Amino acid sequence: MQAEVEAPATARPVGMVAIVGRPNVGKSTLVNALVGERVSITSRKPQTTRDKVLGVRTDDNAQYIFVDTPGFQRRHRNALSRRMNDTVTRALHGVDAIIQVIEAGGWTDADTEVLQLLPPQSTNVILAINKSDLLADRDKMLPLMADSMQRYQFRAIVPVSAEKSRQLDDLLEEVRPLLPEGMLLFDAEQYTDRSARFLAAESVREKAYRLLGDELPYGIAVTIDRWDESRATPQIAATLIVERDTHRPIVIGKDGAKLREISRLARADIEQMLGKPVFLEVWVRVKRGWNDDVRALKSLGYD
């Protein structure tokens, strides 16, 4: 019997797409919707995204490698926020396309500050107007689009709803011609460049942000201290790091209830990611001034 010969891989549009915008404009939600997987954590707090995270979407037409960036920080100027802003600036170079995200409510000073970071007279920048589904008067979209073109000569302007996954195909149609032809940079099944450990730590931090609301400032970090997949049930130990002694009881909650709920919700996410039950324990530790200490940031993975 003659062996079947595997057909050679064919080139297709493959490239990097930076997604930028002010904090809380919906960048991470948009990346997750475009990829179809939970790549980046989301919350209503600024500074939720702290690292550059790649989200990969591969279909029959192209491979899109989305670069989710932190929101550009205008306040809280410490070592962490300076590093986050550097990440945004670097992400704008060496990519094939840029998507700036604003909200349908219109331009803000923070949006304009991000706009000023864009390469002047570039022909690869697309504007995504997010939360367009919340605009009660659809007639207001045309003046917003006209105003946007006066601010920058965007290649295209696409109203979208990241939350409801609306008009994302239209956005992809605008991005695809900007990507060079090439071979796949990631396996077709891969949806991020980040490890399971990183995603697990981010899940713990996301649940803390969501459950604590405004009770706690931005000074939360998470480390994975133990990751043991040698057993049928993986054993994971994580530490939530806070800035002050007074923050510790807030995270723990009465009789440990808050910390248990953070652990329960994070464990559910990690189990879904790994496809099996896990044992997760989460501790709380105080590390004063970690977000303004370069050495501490490096030790926590913000290098």
Tokens of 92: 């704008």
Q: Are 24 and 41 in contact (CB under 8 A)?
A: no
Q: Is residue 2 part of a domain?
A: no
Provide DSSP, 137-199.
-GGGHHHHHHHHHHH---SEEEE-BTTTTBSHHHHHHHHGGGSPEE--SS-TT--BSS-HHHH
Which carries the bigger pLDDT value, residue 11 or residue 72?
Answer: 11
209 and 277 part of one domain: yes
Q: Is the pLDDT of residue 235 over 90?
A: yes
Selected residue with higher pLDDT from 212 and 90: 212
Q: Compare 87 and 153 and report the one with higher pLDDT.
A: 153
Same domain, 164 and 237: no
Do 275 and 167 sit in the same domain of this protein? no
Q: How far apart are CA 65 and CA 1, in angstroms?
A: 41
Same domain for 37 and 116, yes or no, is yes
> Is residue 292 very low, low, confident or very high in pLDDT (cuts 50, 70, 90)?
low
> Is there a contact between 21 and 111 (Cβ–Cβ < 8 Å)?
yes
Structure tokens at 246: 């007074």
The reported pLDDT for the residue numbered 23 is: 83
Task: Kindly report the CATH number assigned to the domain that includes residue 295.
Answer: 3.30.300.20
Instruction: Tell me, yes or no, whether 28 and 147 share the same domain.
Output: yes
**With 50 as the cut, is the pLDDT of residue 4 above it?**
no
> Binning pLDDT at 50, 70 and 90, where does residue 117 land?
confident
Domain, as residue range, for 135:
12-182
Residue 90 in any domain: the answer is yes
pLDDT, averaged across the chain: 85
pTM of the model: 0.82
What are the tokens at 201?
């730590």
Considering only residues 4 and 58, tell me which one the structure prediction assigns the higher pLDDT: 58
Instruction: Tell whether 6 is covered by a domain.
Output: no
Number of domain units in the chain: 2
Task: Return d(Cα 142, Cα 286) in angstroms, integer.
Answer: 50
Single out the residue of 177, 196, 203 nearest to residue 267, CA to CA: 203
Q: Count how many residues are written for the chain.
A: 303
pLDDT of residue 5: 39
124 and 210 share a domain?
no
Q: How far apart are the first and last CA of the chain?
A: 55
- Rounded to an integer, the average pLDDT of 69-96 is 66
- Both 130 and 161 in one domain: the answer is yes
235 in the same domain as 158: no
Residue type, 87: T
Contact 168, 63 (CB under 8 A): no
> If you average pLDDT over residues 155-174, what whole number do you get?
95
Residue at which a domain ends, from 182, 210, 230: 182
CATH label of the domain that carries residue 110: 3.40.50.300
Judge if 81 and 128 occupy the same domain. yes
User: What digits encode the pLDDT tens for the residues 221-233?
Assistant: 899 999 999 989 9
Please say if the pLDDT value at position 44 is more than 70: no
Strands 125-130 and 63-68: unpaired
Shared-domain flag, residues 56 and 152: yes
In-domain check, residue 115: yes
Give the residue from 284, 273, 295 showing the smallest Cα distance to 246: 284
Pair 163, 216 in one domain: no
